Each structure stands twice: as C-alpha cells, then as structure tokens.
Amino acid sequence: MGNVTVIGAQWGDEGKGKIVDWLASRADMVVRFQGGHNAGHTLVVGNQTYKLSLLPSGIVRGTPSVIGNGVVLDPWALKAEVERIREQGVDVTPGVLRIAETCPLILPIHRDLDGLREDASGAGKIGTTRRGIGPAYEDKVGRRAIRVCDLAHLGELEPLLDRLCAHHDALRAGFNEPPVDRQRLRNDLAEIADFVLSFAGPVWRDLDEALRDNKRILFEGAQGVLLDVDHGTYPFVTSSNTVAGTTGSGSGIGPSGAGFVLGIVKAYTTRVGSGPFPTEQDNEVGQKLGERGHEFGTVTGRKRRCGWFDAVLVRQAVAVSGVTGVALTKLDVLDGFETVRICTGYRIGGKAFDYLPPHAADQARVEPVYEEIEGWPGSTQGARSWADLPARAIKYVRRVEELIRCPVALVSTSPQRDDTILVRDPFAG
C-alpha cells in the first residue's frame, strides 16, 4: 500500500475536503503541504458540518495530522479554528496535530499590506482573500520571515524585526500608513507563542519515520493547479505552487513519497475572484449550477462563478501535475439538464488551440469550442455504485476520461462521506 497526494485540478473548491476525509479513514497520517488559511474545506459528517482552513482534513477523524513547512501559518487564525472545532467535539491535541517548526508566520502587517494593495489596484485587482498569504510568501523568499521556531527565541527577535520592518515600513509609507508598531507585534507574538509551540516540532523526522515504517501518508493540497503561481492563470493565481510536485518541498520528504496523485475535479467548473474563465456561464445556466451546487466560498463566502466542464484546462492540469487518476465530484448537480456541454478546445481570432495560452490578453480572448452531450433525467445523488447511475451519466463520465486523458478513480455524488463510487483504490497504487 502506498501514499496518496490529493490536489485540486481546477481553480480550487473542487470538493477536496470530502475526498480527503473519505481517504483519511485508511491513512496513518494526513499532511498539508502548501497554502494558508485562504483555503477552505467543508466536511459533512452525518448531521455535523466542519469548515476547515488551516487544519488538515484528517483532524476530524483523529488521524495524526501535519501542517508542513510549505504552509504559511497565521497563528491567530489557527487558534480560532482549533477552538471552533473543539466546540464541535473534535479533540485537537499535540498528539494529533503537528506543525513544522520552519513554517513562516502570517503577521498582522501581512494582512494590512494585502488589503492596501488590493484597494489600490483598481482594474488590476487579483481578487485575493486579503488574508496576507502573498505578502507572507514574499517575506519567506526574501529571507525576512518570522517562523514558528522564532517563537521560542523571542529575546533574539530584533535582527529579524530590523530586516522585516525595513521592508514593510517603506511599503507602508507608500500607502501613507505609519511604520510597523514593533512593540505591539512583539506583544502579539509573545501572547500566541506558547499555543503554537505546543504543536511544533521537526515534522520531517516524523514523516521519515512513517515512511520507514511503511505507513500510509495522505498529502493534502490547497487551492487548485490552475491557481499555481507557475502553471496557473497568472497573475490571477495564489502565491504558492499547488501542483503535486510541491509535496516533497512543502513537507520534507523526497519526491518519490508523493505516491498516487489524485486530482479532484468538479463535473462542471467554478472560480472565485478575478481572472479568465473560458466556459463561464453568466446566465441562467450558471445561476442554476451555482444554486444547485451551493457555490459560495468556504473562506470568503463569495459567490463562485460557474460554467461548463473545461476538458482543455483539466487535461493541462493533469499533465503538469502528474495526476494518476481523478475524483469526479458533484456529478449530481448536472442531474436534469436536457443537454450538458464540455469544452474540447479553444479559438482565438480563428486560430485553434488545444491548451490555454499563457498571456493574460490571449486568455481573455479565448472562445470555447463545445461538444454537446445528452443529459440524463434520473438522479445520481447518493449513488454508491455504477449500477446506481443513469446510463447517460456514465456516458458523460467516460467522455470526460477520454478528453482529459486520465482515468476516473472515484465519483462523488453528494457531500456525504459515503456517497462515493470507488473505481480504483488510490492507496493500492
């Protein structure tokens, strides 16, 4: 039995939380390896709904869970999330949750900068969550981040603050904002330090021991491949690499540890925030998809843009992330449509494309080429085997496989944990 890496193969919000939770019952450890609390996973377990942003989805089951070094950690958001799910009956202890001591921290000054930049960007707004993710990653690569391990050495913080404030004070001055209040920042960090440090440790060593003991590790990505800072619809992307290749660098294992790469894909397409969206349906179809799919962001509450399935983009995501198999989610949302459409190619000024060009101007001019498929009158909701699906729904799934050049390993037919059709067991490789 091997490891499994779960990533989103669209623009995020594909239903990763349910799939990770479903797989976590058979994993020995769940690891989050990139992103921050801009991600959102919703888990429905019986009558209970859990909304997670930073915590790995395995935490709900009590599966040992790790926040890897590739995550940017807002310590105050972490504490609030831990307290919230503790109130829901989930026991979050240092024995269950481990945090890499090399995680960079998201500070109040990062949130400030994120909001100031968005407000000043006018038509160039990226549509960030304003939670400081991008500025925190900038400080990480700029070698001026304060990390989890620094919370154990607050008396030696001055050189770090000198570097950090030299950068941020200049930026804040450009927005007519006062310099960083260093004493307030010190006080804030001192207040949160013990809470964070109680979970901190050398998680790379935990992972190494797990691998040596042949334990099954489930790696959990955030956002989606189309939001990858290198491979996504730049500049309307997140500030980290979301592809499966980040599993190693974001957690502290070698690249061979990723195992089976499971790409999560909705049976249609959604996107939150700004950026190109070739198959977007700003009409009754899009409204129907949004209403039936309850398409509102877990983190922001923003209404998601909705459109038809884009096989071109998913095929591209499968290729750049080495996806082994996909989990097709929310198939039930398409129930009752007389016809459903799949984008099979693009045109720009009469020229055909079988991929999305990298330049934002070309992406904005893309015209989708559609293939129409007859819809199905029956219901797929709650189906747990192929025999429960209408024949036309199966035909749709098979056509998706052909177009994205990747087999379907799982089909999800409702938010409930057990409403899942297993085609291929990811842990079996």
Supply the residues annotated as catalytic. 13, 41
- DSSP labels, 337-393: -SEEEEEEEEEETTEEESS--SSHHHHHH-EEEEEEEE--SS--TT--SGGGS-HHH
112 Cβ contact partners less than 8 Å away, ≥ 6 residues apart = 132, 172, 177
Q: How far apart are CA 270 and CA 279, in angstroms?
A: 9
Token readout for 141 is: 């690569």
> Residue type at 31?
V
Report the C-alpha gap between 309 and 300 in whole angstroms.
23
**Angle of helix 158-174 versus helix 182-197 axis, rounded to 10:** 130
The amino acid that residue 417 corresponds to is R
Q: Which tokens is 25 given?
A: 């019952």
Question: What is the C-alpha R_g of the chain?
Answer: 22
Q: Which long-range contacts (CB under 8 A, 24 or more apart) does 174-179 make?
A: 175/116, 175/120, 177/112, 177/116
Q: What angle separates helix 182-197 from helix 108-120, to the nearest 10 degrees?
A: 120
Omega prior to 135 cis, within 30 of 0: no
What b-and-e string marks burial along 6-39, b requiring 16 or more CB atoms within 10 Å of the CB? bbbbbbbbbbbbbbbbbbbeebbbbbbbbbbbbb
Q: Kind of pairing, strands 305-307 and 269-271? A: antiparallel
Contact 136, 105 (CB under 8 A): yes
Helix (H) or strand (E) holding 195: helix 182-197
Task: Tell me if 219 sits within 8 A of 31, measured CB to CB.
Answer: yes
